[in-house]
Structure 1
Amino acid sequence: MQDTETLSALTIEKLNHSVATSNGELDILKGINLSIRDGESVAIVGASGSGKSTLLGLMAGLDQHTQGSIRLYDQPLEQLDEEGRAVLRGQYVGFIFQSFHLLPSLTALENVMLPNELKGDRSAKDRAQSLLEQVGLSHRISHYPRQLSGGEQQRVAIARAFASAPKILFADEPTGNLDSKNGALVEDLLFELNQKQGTTLVVVTHDPELAARCDRQIEIHDGELKES
């Protein structure tokens, strides 16, 4: 296998995806072709219901697409079962969600430690502490999610996403639940960590300012891509 540094992070060819409804098959994505370079930042924009989050989930291997090819670091997702996709995500992928998805029974430090602890990494605590310091939360490491503001929770989620040094980070509306001040702070952190670690960033957003900071903007309209 080639070294991942020489590969596209993601290559999509002739992707179609449909779901079964009471009225028959509904086409969500149609004829998607897309290539994302290693280290690139790409914003996926479009109206609600256009297929943005569906595409993000398929690219990350969270769901199986109907037709076509998705290659994540040269691994064809359509040839992998659910377990195989999970292993690939563990190797390459980080996530940030609009609703944070922090575990309420764990402190900020424990939430950030978790991905590396599950891998048996003995440096999990040191790395988590370093990342929480980078996102300005070194004074909140022992606090639980319920004790943190929305902006603070999202900063913990960012630290957790970067804890395992993912090659590619998928972010679904990462500023959607935040006020403008916290949204701007989260944007800055995303791009700062993206540049420091060389992480490929793929973000679904309705925020035009966030989209404009990415290297490229890709618009989805009725399940079809149009590059801005």
Structure 2
Amino acid sequence: MSAMLRAENLYHQVSTSEGPLTLLNNISLQLARGESLAITGASGSGKSTLLGLLAGLDKPTGGHIWLAGEEITRMDEEQRAALRARCVGFVFQTFQLLPGLTALENVMLPSELRGERGAAKRAGNFLDRVGLSHRLHHYPRQLSGGEQQRVAIARAFASFSGDDGILFADEPTGSLDAANGERVIELLFKLNAESNTTLVLVTHEQRLAERCGVQMRMVAGEIAAGETGSGSLPEVST
């Protein structure tokens, strides 16, 4: 399988009032199409920073990232946004639904922004697959937390315009109770398997991490010792 995501020698530093602060240091990984990766670690270990860089939401201070075969570290923001619109979906802990749009309209949005026909039908199909066909015209405030996250998952999978989809999830069950969290986990992995997309998620939950084919633990901005493989480009543990 060809690599859907690859990072080489990532380094990221920010300026603070007390001087430079290193958030990530010497991160290298690769993930094939259709694989799933869990990034774990304590708060402040660099998990969400790494996720944002891998998704092209920011540029690292140093190093290289390839997403769907394209080096995003050589792109400007407009080019990265175009790539994200084509093949990247997001699921966040706080759902990030637009309050003025219905469930159907929230899921339609990625397809509409790409100017695709049949956005409503596509969105309706995904909402049906997450068990919300009876909630199409409800607004986020009228939905429970679990239902809102299911809408967010439907929107994420509706974001892919082709076969090169990659889903980034940041603590997708962090705002949910145990029952809703378990249902969201099942839906996430079910849709991911059916769509043969690549999944990268940040989580504190070991039960969620263990569902992924690949796990990587972060410690103080670095991959934990013993979790890189051999070869010219270190791989995360499987």
User: TM-score, normalised to structure 1's length?
Assistant: 0.96
Partner in structure 2 of residue 23 of structure 1: 18
Partner in structure 1 of residue 196 of structure 2: 198
What is the CA distance between 1:152 and its match in structure 2? Answer: 0.3
Q: 1:93 corresponds to which letter in structure 2?
A: V
Partner in structure 1 of residue 103 of structure 2: 108
User: How far, CA to CA, are the matches of 1:150 and 1:182 in structure 2?
Assistant: 8
Instruction: Describe the SS at the equivalent of 1:62.
Output: coil
User: How far, CA to CA, are the matches of 1:73 and 1:127 in structure 2?
Assistant: 23
In structure 1, stretches of 5+ residues that fail to align are 1-5
What is the CA distance between 1:164 and its match in structure 2? Answer: 2.7
2:90 is aligned with 1:95: yes
Contact kept? 1:97, 1:173, Cα under 8 Å: yes
Partner in structure 2 of residue 160 of structure 1: 155
Q: Which runs of structure 2 are paired with 1:31-50 in the superposition (5 Å)?
A: 31-50=26-45
User: How far, CA to CA, are the matches of 1:141 and 1:11 in structure 2?
Assistant: 37
User: TM-score, normalised to structure 2's length?
Assistant: 0.92
2:123 is aligned with 1:128: yes
Instruction: Describe the SS at the equivalent of 2:39.
Output: strand
Deviation string, structure 1 residues 111-134 (Cα, Å, up to 9, x no partner)? 001110111111111111111111
User: How far, CA to CA, are the matches of 1:132 and 1:33 in structure 2?
Assistant: 36
Identity in percent: 61
In structure 2, stretches of 5+ residues that fail to align are 228-236
Deviation string, structure 1 residues 54-81 (Cα, Å, up to 9, x no partner)? 0000000000100011111221122101
Contact kept? 2:24, 2:222, Cα under 8 Å: yes
What is the CA distance between 1:23 and its match in structure 2? Answer: 1.0
Q: How many aligned positions are there?
A: 223
Contact kept? 1:7, 1:73, Cα under 8 Å: no
Q: 1:180 corresponds to which letter in structure 2?
A: A
Partner in structure 1 of residue 218 of structure 2: 220
Partner in structure 2 of residue 208 of structure 1: 206
RMSD: 1.0
Q: 1:216 corresponds to which letter in structure 2?
A: V
User: How far, CA to CA, are the matches of 1:15 and 1:214 in structure 2?
Assistant: 23
Partner in structure 2 of residue 189 of structure 1: 187
